[in-house]
Amino acid sequence: PAQRYRRPGLRVTTEYDSEEALFAHKVSCKLAGGLAKLRLSFQSDQQGHGEDPRQLFGAPVLSFVTKHFSAMYDVEGRNALLRGNASLPGGAVQLRASHDVKEQEGEVSVRTRLGDPSYRLEISSLVPYSGLPRATLHFPIGQVSVEERTNEEDQKMLSVYGIAKTDFLDGILTAQYNENDLNLRYCYKVIYV
């Protein structure tokens, strides 16, 4: 018997963003037996229509996505964003890269586990090279980053950023440190029965 060719099924989703008053639409289909996905996403105004066709099909982005590579093409901006990732066997070392074609900029990063899988070290750098790479230590309740920045007098200096979150008294306590600022936030839910 002859094998019957199956066309890929289409998936259509629409989401409403109440803050921006926009509908976000996605049309996607899986290709090559699910190894890749082709997606078209666009936005429309709050009524879902408009006199100008750009209001109905605003900000169109065409995407090709696989497990280790993705290409997103912004139709209006005529720009592509390329992303790729790979890992060594066992997943102890992961490599990631991204490239903005129009801006000719990107980022390359290497992430590795430090003994316990919940502790990771990530080194990332902008491409083209613009100074020392950023180092980030991830741990179970947060992360700390150190990177080189230029101040108002064009002097290079090291900058420290960190964030930590933990459960505390039926809520979440968040501490965020950036340069010389420390912000503490406590969030909790009150339930009336």
Q: Give kind and range of the element (H or E) at residue 189.
A: none
Question: Are 73 and 108 contained in the same domain?
Answer: no
Domain-located, residue 118: yes
Question: Are 58 and 138 contained in the same domain?
Answer: no
User: Which of helix, strand or coil describes residue 67?
Assistant: coil
Domain-located, residue 59: yes
Domain-located, residue 2: yes
Domain-located, residue 94: no
Q: Tell me the pTM.
A: 0.68
80/8: higher pLDDT: 80
Domain-located, residue 90: no
Question: Are 112 and 70 contained in the same domain?
Answer: no
105/16: higher pLDDT: 105
Question: Are 108 and 73 contained in the same domain?
Answer: no
Cβ density class 130-142: b for 16+ within 10 Å, e for less: eeebbebebeeeb
**Residue range 76-98: average pLDDT?**
92
- Report whether pLDDT(112) > 70: yes
Identify the pLDDT of residue 48.
46
Question: Are 145 and 109 contained in the same domain?
Answer: yes
Question: Are 43 and 113 contained in the same domain?
Answer: no
Domain-located, residue 47: yes
Domain-located, residue 96: no
Question: Are 38 and 123 contained in the same domain?
Answer: no
If one counts the domains in the chain, the total is: 2
Question: Are 112 and 190 contained in the same domain?
Answer: yes
Question: Are 71 and 107 contained in the same domain?
Answer: no
Domain-located, residue 83: no
Question: Are 6 and 73 contained in the same domain?
Answer: yes
18-44 confidence digits (pLDDT tens): 887 788 889 999 988 888 999 999 887
Question: Are 110 and 157 contained in the same domain?
Answer: yes
Phi, psi of 104 (to 5 degrees): 55, 40
116-164 confidence digits (pLDDT tens): 888 999 999 998 887 889 999 999 999 999 998 888 888 888 889 999 9
- Report whether pLDDT(87) > 80: yes
38-79 confidence digits (pLDDT tens): 999 988 765 544 455 556 667 789 999 999 999 999 988 899
Question: Are 166 and 116 contained in the same domain?
Answer: yes
Cβ atoms of residues 184 and 173 within 8 Å: yes
Q: Residue 193 is part of which domain span?
A: 103-193
114/145: higher pLDDT: 145
**Region of residue 59 (left: phi > 0; alpha: psi -120 to 50; beta: else):** left
Q: Is 36 exposed, middle or buried (0-12, 13-18, 19+ CB in 10 A)?
A: middle
